[in-house]
Amino acid sequence: MSRFSFNQATAKYWPLADVVAGCASAGVTNVGLWREPVAEYGLTRSAKLVREAGLSVTSLCRGGFFGADNWLDDNRAALDEAAELGAPALVLVCGGLFGRTLDQARDRVARGLEALAPHALDVGVTLAVEPMHPMFCADRCVVSTLGDALDLALQFPAETVGVVVDTYHVWWDPQLAAQIERARGRIVSVQLCDWVIPLPADTLLGRGHLGDGVIDFPPVVAGVLSAGYTGFVEIEIFNQDVWDAPADQTAATIRQRFASLLA
């Protein structure tokens, strides 16, 4: 449990202050934050709140969207926010096709990382390329496998660009174990949740508590540890039922599953 981190997206409807208070009272010392609730509470105030509660921020979600207007300024701002919160990594959702071919869209991600790398180095925050499930390739992220993400990251120094291993996105990949090994020194965030079938109408929300779906977690976690990952393991669940459940119940389920599946 010492590697456990609670990603606040799992409690979508909690304001930041409730997340921090909830973690503190449950003995959770690490938290993954999102930009929107941080902005709502105020950046400086948020940084102070988590610091005073003794929490470490394990990642900030999210930058990326390299095809959007204003992407450069927005990503620089996100890096600044991550630095102020003490988050080591800014998780990137790299953006979909936006009317381009796949090759063009993937090239745009590389150019985006290039443009952001100097600022990431300046503020000491690693750009964390998150491969997303291929079902999101068209509209959300053209980086579809851990192998793709590494091909991008390895063009940059390790302190500037790394990768995220999120089980929901990569569990199906027959190359996963080999790519995790190849990712040695590049894994900057690990996020766990299960793949529940049938998928809901909104496929972003098909995530479930560990053990409610089909993913075999121990090999993934053993793989990232064996590849030298020394950071935390976030539980990040987007799921309407989880969001609607009482907070205490969610917290208890998360900790119990984490402990029993990964002990």
Residues lying near a second copy in the complex (CB under 8 A) are found at 97, 101-102, 106, 133-135, 137-139, 144-145, 147-148, 171-174, 195, 197-199, 201, 203, 213-214, 216
Q: Where are the beta strands (DSSP E) in the chain?
A: 4-7, 30-34, 56-64, 89-93, 126-129, 161-166, 187-192, 194-195, 207-208, 233-235
Shortest distance, CB of residue 10 to a second copy, whole angstroms? 21
Minimum distance from residue 184 beta carbon to a second copy (Å): 21
Q: CA distances (Å), 235 to each of 32, 172, 193, in order?
A: 9, 19, 6
State the nearest-atom distance from the C-beta of 258 to a second copy, in Å: 20
How many Cα atoms are found within 13 Å in the side-chain-facing hemisphere of 65? 12
Q: What span, in angstroms and rounded, lies between the C-alpha atoms of 215 and 194? A: 6
Nearer Cβ to a second copy, position 80 or 151? 151
* Cα distances (Å, whole numbers) of residue 148 to 35, 102, 103, 173: 26, 12, 12, 12
The b-or-e profile of 43-62 (16+ CB within 10 A means b, else e) is eeebbebbeebebbbbbbbb
Q: How far apart are CA 82 and CA 61, in angstroms?
A: 9
Q: Cβ 36 to a second copy, closest distance in Å?
A: 22
Nearer to a second copy, 130 or 148 (CB): 148
Q: Which is nearer to a second copy, 86 or 134 (CB)?
A: 134
User: Measured from the CB atom, is 198 or 246 closer to a second copy?
Assistant: 198
- State the nearest-atom distance from the C-beta of 110 to a second copy, in Å: 12
When the beta carbons of 32 and 206 are compared against a second copy, the nearer one is 206
Coil, strand or helix at 179: helix
Q: Please, are residues 14 and 241 in contact by the beta-carbon 8 Å criterion? A: no
Q: How far is the CB of 205 from a second copy (least distance, A)?
A: 12
Nearer to a second copy, 81 or 130 (CB): 130
d(Cα 7, Cα 33) in Å, to the nearest integer?
Answer: 6
d(CA 8, CA 14): 8
Complex with a second copy: residue 40 or 181, whichever CB lies closer: 181
Minimal distance in Å, beta carbon 122 to a second copy? 31
CA distance 49 to 115: 32
